[in-house]
């Protein structure tokens, strides 16, 4: 986890976006990953973007996961999903993600829509606390990683947790081949 100074997220809800804090506060006791294994660390908001963050905090790109919001239309209705991929890869938005959404064409959701619909800051969007109806597509490489660093819903902190926890989130689907090497 590089030089991050982590502590249990449930003890530092102030470092999380409101929907993320709510999800942590309501973390199920019977979840496969204990809430105490979900950690948070404050960071410089100017260093929130993946490459800058990894360099500044000595975190490998291979343990840093990105959450991208994708959208597509079907019968006039916009469908959204979150794709979680390691920073060493890129989401296959118009292949695997498009098929999972069951739409003709998928693309990254417009920034304003992603921010408004998630209640999170752009550059900090995380799969924890997303709208319940959204599928969370998690690349199999992410859940195979012992610990990963993800956004916290805000740009001034990051969450560290076991990779398998992301595959166990409500609405999560572990997807082989969701991402391709960058």
Radius of gyration, CA atoms only, the chain: 15
Question: Which residues, including other chains, have CB under 8 Å from residue 29's CB and lie 6 or more apart?
Answer: none
What are the structure tokens assigned to 15, written together? 């470092």
Is residue 175 in a domain?
Answer: yes
Q: What is the pLDDT of residues 76-86, one digit of tens each?
A: 999 999 999 99
pTM as predicted: 0.95
Is residue 2 in a domain?
Answer: no
Q: What per-residue confidence (pLDDT) applies to 56?
A: 97
In Å, how far are 42, 76, 86 from 179, measured between CA atoms? 28, 27, 8
CATH number for the domain that contains residue 129: 3.90.960.10
Count how many domains the chain has. 1
Q: What per-residue confidence (pLDDT) applies to 35?
A: 94
Q: What per-residue confidence (pLDDT) applies to 31?
A: 86
Q: What per-residue confidence (pLDDT) applies to 1?
A: 82
In Å, how far are 3, 42, 68, 165 from 46, measured between CA atoms? 17, 12, 19, 27
Is residue 1 in a domain?
Answer: no
Q: What secondary structure does DSSP assign to 124-154, as a single string?
A: ---STT--TTS-EEEEHHHHTSSEEEEE-SS
Q: What per-residue confidence (pLDDT) applies to 28?
A: 87
Q: What is the pLDDT of residues 57-99, one digit of tens each?
A: 999 999 999 999 999 999 999 999 999 999 999 999 999 999 9
Is residue 72 in a domain?
Answer: yes
CA gap 60, 131 in Å, rounded: 29
Range of the domain at 84: 7-181
Q: Which long-range contacts (CB under 8 A, 24 or more apart) does 99-106 make?
A: 100/135, 100/137, 100/173, 100/175, 101/70, 101/72, 101/74, 101/135, 102/74, 103/72, 103/73, 103/74, 103/79, 104/72, 104/73, 104/74, 105/72, 105/73, 106/70, 106/71, 106/72
Q: What is the pLDDT of residues 7-51, one digit of tens each?
A: 999 999 999 999 999 999 999 888 888 999 999 999 999 999 999
Q: What is the pLDDT of residues 105-151, one digit of tens each?
A: 999 999 999 999 999 999 999 999 999 999 999 999 999 999 999 99
């Amino acid at each position: 986890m590089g030089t991050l100074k982590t502590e249990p997220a449930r003890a530092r809800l102030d470092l999380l976006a409101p929907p993320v804090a709510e999800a942590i506060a309501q973390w199920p006791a019977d979840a496969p990953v204990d809430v105490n294994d979900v950690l948070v660390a404050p960071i410089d908001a100017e260093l929130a973007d993946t490459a800058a963050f990894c360099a500044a905090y000595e975190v490998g790109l291979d343990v840093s996961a990105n959450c991208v919001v994708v959208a597509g239309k079907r019968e006039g209705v916009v469908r959204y999903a979150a794709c979680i991929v390691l920073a060493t890869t890129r989401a296959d938005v118009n292949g695997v993600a498009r098929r999972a959404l069951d739409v003709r064409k998928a693309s990254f959701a417009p920034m304003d829509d992603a921010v408004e619909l998630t209640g999170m800051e752009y550059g900090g969007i995380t799969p924890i606390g997303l709208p319940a109806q959204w599928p969370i597509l998690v690349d199999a490489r992410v859940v195979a990683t012992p610990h990963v660093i993800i956004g916290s819903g805000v740009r001034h902190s990051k969450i560290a947790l076991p990779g398998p926890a992301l595959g166990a989130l409500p609405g999560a689907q572990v997807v082989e081949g969701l991402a391709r090497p960058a």
